[in-house]
Each structure stands twice: as structure tokens, then as C-alpha cells.
Amino acid sequence: MADKFDVIVIGAGPGGYVAAIRAAQLGLKTACVEKWIGKEGKVVFGGTCLNVGCIPSKALLEASHKFVEAKHDFSDMGIEAGDVSMDVKKMMARKDKIVSNLTGGIAGLFKANGVTGIEGTGKVVGAKQVEVTDKDGKATTYEADNIVIAAGSVPVEIPPTPLTEGLIVDSTGALEFQDVPKRLGVIGAGVIGLELGSVWSRLGSEVTVLEAMDSFLPMVDSAIAKETQKLLKKQGLDIKLGARVTGSEVKGKEVVVKYSDAEGEQEMTFDKLIVCVGRRPYTKGVVADGVGVGLDERGFIHVDDQCRTSVPGVYAIGDCVRGQMLAHKASEEGIMVADIIAGHKAEMNYDAIPCVIYTFPEVAWVGMTEQDAKAKGIEVKTGSFPFAASGRAMANNATEGQAKIIADAETDRILGMHIVGQHAGEMIAQGVIALEFGSSAEDLALTCYAHPTMSEAVHEAALAVEGHAIHMA
């Protein structure tokens, strides 16, 4: 038997590494087990988010957006940049550098906070025992009073489009293209599909997004979703709704995709195809049979509101449990669980978790849509403000989009905020704080906002809930 710990965390993604650091900061002897092998052939921390998720995708979104601005928008401002071109390999190298800086940074944070990083594959073999198998197959069993499973998720594959090296790829493969495909197919008009489709569309690909559902972004308020769809279409993304992919065939360097829609059977040919149809929990083998940790039929670990599994002392957080698959949700659960283990009272407000799609403009939301509220029988009042009427948006050359606030008609309490517009992902923090503090729309309407800022649209939307926005006829 090797060392004994107060806490062992399995998985060093944004759920696991944050839980481990917080536990160590609270004085608990903590270890974090990780098996992810990075590009340099060594174990790296950071999980999906840092290695193949949030961070690399944002590096590519930012670079491709700047490219579009320089190519098409700068001249509106009088900047003549001449011929602008994109060196895809350099863009990828920059992305890889950001990833390695950040993953290395986690190792530094572990050291600074006294977290023991253990390399290998962890498995819960008893209520207080974790077995770790290293890359040479050597197994060591560690004891821990508490175990946190933060094993994350992996992309879902679908039978009609089996992954085919370099041609049919998942989100990870789409972050590694070394050239711009001429015709790019994306299956799934969810957050990841729209972000990756945007990157390659901005760089010149003809992008077609095939989405099986008939509605676009059903989790977003329909006014905001409708405007987003219009804006993405204007940018060249061909989003086909109600298009169910039924098969594919690789023909030389092309992929022929078959799908059915309201008109019948259809076929399209692409140079590359990205499959972005969701993610599934990565929990196979993480708990030995007989330990008693319950999983559902899709592999999610059963937990209560405070992430306790059915076995006392064993917790599970992040993408491998119910709820939204988001890095900040995983991290907040990690903090909550570490606090609980250290004997503090802690809980999470699952109604105030923001979501962002980092397209241009960004789409961001928190809380209910107008449609959700109505379906629950809540009478609402809403206020919207278009960025076209914002002075700062005009100065920024970013007048597309709007901010919308949904409030309870009786109590004025804010139920949701949904925004499409430049920096919506930053602005939505105001909605999160409003929900967290139980603010009324009047609270925001009576708050002094800096001028000129994009956030003034939130202020104006709150004024609109109360009666009328100032800068709107």
C-alpha cells in the first residue's frame, strides 16, 4: 500500500484540478490522478478544456475572427491592410503554444499548492481505495478518506459516419486541420459545431451544417436564436435544419454524406466532415464492480445536488455527472465538493450557470427563455435592446444583435438574460450576478452603467422591461 491521502481526485480537467487545488488550500492532503498523454508524449493536466476544448477552440476563433476583420472590416474604418492571408500552420502552432503554457501552468499550481500529481489511470477499487496503473502497467493502490471522480467526457460517435483519419473527424480532429478544406460538412448545429464551423468558414471553407432537429438552438430564447441563425447565414454558414444523416461513404479524398430531410433523401460531398453530435461521460472502468457507485444507462454517475454518489466519501463532478457539460460548471462543482469535504457548508445554484457560444457575434444566456417561463405558467414581462442603437456598438463596427431580459411580471425578479452581440460572453456575467442575487429588472434599470459600453444594452433592456428604453423610438 502506498501513501494515504485525505482526498484523491481522478481526472485533472477543470473539474478535477480545481477540486484538488481547493482541497489542498483548505489543508487537506490531496492527490490528483491523470492519464492524458499530450502532444509531447507526456502526461499533461487540464483535461478536455485545456487540451482539445475551450482553449484551443478559442485560440482558433480569435485568430480567424481577426483575419476576417483585417480582410473585410478594417477598410470600413479607413485601415488599408492590403492583401491579407492566413498561415494556417502558424495559427495552429500559436494554439499549441497556448495549450502547452496552460497545461504546464496547472503542474505549477499543483506544486505551489502542495497537490501530488499522480500519472496513470485511476480506478476506484473500494470506498476508500484508488488503484493507479502507470504507463508500464504497474498498479499501485492508494488510500483516501475521500475520492472525487472527475473523469470528464469524450465525443459521441454515430454509426452513419465512422471516424476516418483526416476525412471524418470529431471536434479534436477539427482543431488540427493543417489546410483549409474547400467544402466542409459539420454534423450538429450545437455550440461546438457552430464554433468550429465558424472558424473554417472564416478561413474560406464552404460550410454546410446538418442538424437533425427542426429548431435552431432551442435552449436559447427564440428571438435571440432567430437573430443568430440569420447572422450566421449572412456569414455564409449554410445551416440545414431537419437534416438527419443516414450514411456516408469515403470516396478517395472526399466524403459523400447521405441525409434525409422534409424533401426526401439527399446527398452532399465534402472534403472534410466534422461530427459534433454531443459528448458522453468517460466513466467506463473508472469504478470497479461491487464498489456500489451507481451509473445510469448512458454512463453518467448518479449524484445528488451536492455531487455525492451512492457511496459515502465518494463524489463525482463535471461532465461525468448530470447537468450542462461546461468547464465552469465542472470547476464550481469541484470547489463545492472540496468545501464539503473540508467540513464547510456549500451548495451550487444550478439555475445561474451561464452558457456562451463564441461565434461572432457571441451568443450568451443564463436562466430561462421567455418560452421556458411561459411553459411553466409564469407570467413574464420582457425588455430588449438592439445593438444597432448603441453608440459603442457603432464605434466598434459591431451593431448586430440584441440583449433581452425576461422578468417575472408579478415580482419583477429577473428570470433570464439572453444576448447575441459582440462580447455577449463578457456581458452575461451581469445576468449571472442578477440571478444569483435575486435582482429585479428595476435593480438593473436603476444602476449606473459606464458610457459608452456594450453593457449599456443590458441597462436599456432593463429599462425596457420597466417601461421604455431611453435610446429607442
Q: Binding site, residues? A: 58, 122, 188-195, 211, 278, 319, 325-328
Residue 421 found at the interface with ligand FAD (CB under 6 A) = no
Least Å from the CB of residue 358 to ligand FAD: 6
Per DSSP bridges, beta strands 183-187 and 254-261 are: unpaired
CA angle 457, 462, 467 (to 5 degrees): 120
Residue 15 found at the interface with ligand FAD (CB under 6 A) = yes
Q: Tell me the Ramachandran region of residue 354: left when phi exceeds 0, alpha when psi lies from -120 to 50, beta otherwise.
A: beta
Judged by CB under 6 A, the chain residues 38 through 57 that form the site for ligand FAD are 47-49, 52-54, 57
466: which DSSP letter? H
**Between residues 57 and 229, which has the closer beta carbon with respect to ligand FAD?**
57
Among residues 72, 344, 451, 468, which one is catalytic?
451
**Between residues 197 and 318, which has the closer beta carbon with respect to ligand FAD?**
318
| Site residue total, ligand FAD (CB under 6 A) | 36
Which residue reads 466542409 in cell numbers? 184
Cα separations (Å) of 22 from 9, 46, 327, 427?
A: 11, 15, 16, 27
Cα separations (Å) of 364 from 64, 178, 405?
A: 20, 30, 12
Residue positions counted in the chain: 473
Query: Longest Cα pair distance anywhere in the chain, in angstroms?
Result: 74
Cell numbers that stand for 215 in this block: 429548431
Per DSSP bridges, beta strands 183-187 and 272-275 are: parallel
Least Å from the CB of residue 140 to ligand FAD: 13
Residue 171 found at the interface with ligand FAD (CB under 6 A) = yes
Per DSSP bridges, beta strands 153-155 and 139-149 are: unpaired
Are the C-beta atoms of 196 and 274 separated by less than 8 Å?
yes
Least Å from the CB of residue 44 to ligand FAD: 8
Residue 94 found at the interface with ligand FAD (CB under 6 A) = no
Judged by CB under 6 A, the chain residues 291 through 350 that form the site for ligand FAD are 318-319, 325-328, 330
Partners of 33 in the β-ladder: 10, 118
**Between residues 83 and 136, which has the closer beta carbon with respect to ligand FAD?**
136
**Between residues 193 and 383, which has the closer beta carbon with respect to ligand FAD?**
193
Binding residue ranges for FAD: 58, 122, 319, 325-328
**Between residues 330 and 457, which has the closer beta carbon with respect to ligand FAD?**
330
Question: For this structure, is 468 an active site residue?
Answer: no
Per CB under 6 A, residues contacting ligand FAD are 10-16, 33-36, 47-49, 52-54, 57, 121-122, 150-153, 171, 192, 282, 286, 318-319, 325-328, 330, 358
Residues designated catalytic: 451
